[in-house]
Structure 1
Amino acid sequence: MSKSALVVVDMINTYDHPDAERLLPSARRAVAGIGTLLGQARKAEVPVVYVNDNFGLWRSHHGELLDTALAGRHADLVEPLRPDENSLFVLKARHSIFYETPLAYLLGQLGVSRLVLCGQVTEQCVLYSALDAHIRHLDVTVVRDAVAHIHEDLAVAALRMMETNMGADVRDAEDVSF
């Protein structure tokens, strides 16, 4: 089996943006699946990489982002997913986890050839990240009950595109093995 990494996309979040109200119900449902994945990955000693928007605060570090999210109105969505002492953290600027980040280098250093993607938003950051992983010849698993969406119809289409066009393995959290 390929060496895997669990990548948690944009879940350290204040939910203080224009689409938050549409995203919140789906994010609440995704937390359980992401929690399952975190438990499985940590037990298997698989690298867990949080790749997160920086809220436009370029001087921020991951601890500050976590503190800001935990102090927000939706800390209940962040607390169960908080990074542990072994978690890795990469800041991103926009959409893809690879765009202008050191993630590809980090994955190479770790010998990772398979990404298990979870987080938000299915039809945006998760989709673009899966495509960028695919063009880097990485195997991709997208966990359907551990991703959150703004537009359900677009999320369904995005999951189908990832599976059909990118060869992504789309499955539920309980069916993921590391």
Structure 2
Amino acid sequence: MRFTEGDVLVVVDVQNDFLPGGALAVPDGDAVIAPINRLVRRAPHVVVTQDWHPAGHASFAAQHPERAPFETVPMPYGEQVLWPDHCVQGTHGAELAAGLDLDRAELILRKGTRSGVDSYSAFMEADRKTRTGLAGYLCERGLTRLVLTGLATDFCILWTALDARAEGFAVAVVEDAVRGIDRDGSVSRAWYAMCEAGVDRIDSREIQT
């Protein structure tokens, strides 16, 4: 694969709370930083997403008495996984990882900002009605292919990839620049769903400039 002017590198939610020692640590999550930085230096365009929850968000297990993290509860928009409090607005855990080289980022998109609705996808919140505006931004910039990196494979990467395909964008996920939570085989299921949707699975070493 070769980067072209229609490509955008998307760095998804590489934040302190998702790194080792964070409130919702993704196993080996910090391993994505080095390949992402190599790609940032070569990509024609860079967009970053950031989980940005208000305190007391409805997806936090602490808001549901007698429920534990990773259990599910019904919400008006469907089944919701409950999470430890994480990426709360203005906290250290919500900050983008210090090791990321993001000087060339053209857009930082914050998601999950409404207290009653979770948001995995960079395109659409979990109610499947509220749009983030990313699709319009990409279209206006003439960007047609997303190269996805970041955290986590089985949630925000998966939902972003599927929504991007539904919007008509080409998508490639960089396998060595993503990591997953992986509960009960969720990473394998995510890769299967993405491949079925026409998402390319690539290695960062395959990308040329």
The residue number in structure 2 matching 1:97 is 122
The alpha-carbon deviation at position 53 of structure 1 amounts to 1.0
The alpha-carbon deviation at position 39 of structure 1 amounts to 1.9
Give secondary structure in 2 for the equivalent of 1:81. coil
Distance 2:105 2:123 in 1: 21
The residue number in structure 2 matching 1:122 is 153
Distance 1:87 1:78 in 2: 17
Q: 1:108 aligns with which of 120, 135, 139?
A: 139
Distance 1:80 1:39 in 2: 14
The alpha-carbon deviation at position 13 of structure 1 amounts to 3.5
Task: Indicate if the aligned counterparts of 2:9 and 2:146 stay in contact, CA closer than 8 A.
Answer: yes
Task: Indicate if the aligned counterparts of 1:11 and 1:78 stay in contact, CA closer than 8 A.
Answer: yes
Distance 2:41 2:101 in 1: 12
Identity level (%): 34
Which string of whole-angstrom CA distances, capped at 9 and with x for unpartnered residues, describes residues 92-137 of structure 1?
1210000131111110111011000011110001101111001111
- Structure number with bigger Rg: 2
Listed as ranges, the gaps of 5+ residues in structure 1 are 58-64
The residue number in structure 1 matching 2:15 is 12
Give the 4+ runs in structure 1 shifted more than 2 A. Answer: 12-17
The alpha-carbon deviation at position 156 of structure 1 amounts to 2.6
The residue number in structure 2 matching 1:38 is 40
Q: State the AA in 2 paired with 1:9.
A: V
Distance 1:27 1:68 in 2: 19
Distance 1:119 1:129 in 2: 11
Q: Which structure is richer in relative contact order (CA contacts within 8 A, separation 6 or more)? A: 1
Q: 1:156 aligns with which of 162, 176, 188?
A: 188
Residues paired across the two proteins, number: 158
Distance 2:103 2:91 in 1: 17
Distance 2:102 2:152 in 1: 19
**Structure 1 residues 136-147: aligned runs within 5 Å:** 136-147=167-178
Task: Indicate if the aligned counterparts of 1:113 and 1:139 stay in contact, CA closer than 8 A.
Answer: yes
**Structure 1 residues 37-56: aligned runs within 5 Å:** 37-41=39-43, 46-56=44-54
Give secondary structure in 1 for the equivalent of 2:97. helix
Q: 1:3 aligns with which of 3, 6, 13?
A: 6
Distance 1:162 1:87 in 2: 26
Looking at secondary structure, tell me which structure has more helix per residue: 1
Task: Indicate if the aligned counterparts of 2:47 and 2:105 stay in contact, CA closer than 8 A.
Answer: no
Q: RMSD in angstroms over aligned alpha carbons? A: 2.6
Distance 2:104 2:36 in 1: 18
The alpha-carbon deviation at position 12 of structure 1 amounts to 3.0
The alpha-carbon deviation at position 87 of structure 1 amounts to 3.0
**Structure 1 residues 73-84: aligned runs within 5 Å:** 78-84=97-103
Q: State the AA in 1 paired with 2:99.
A: P
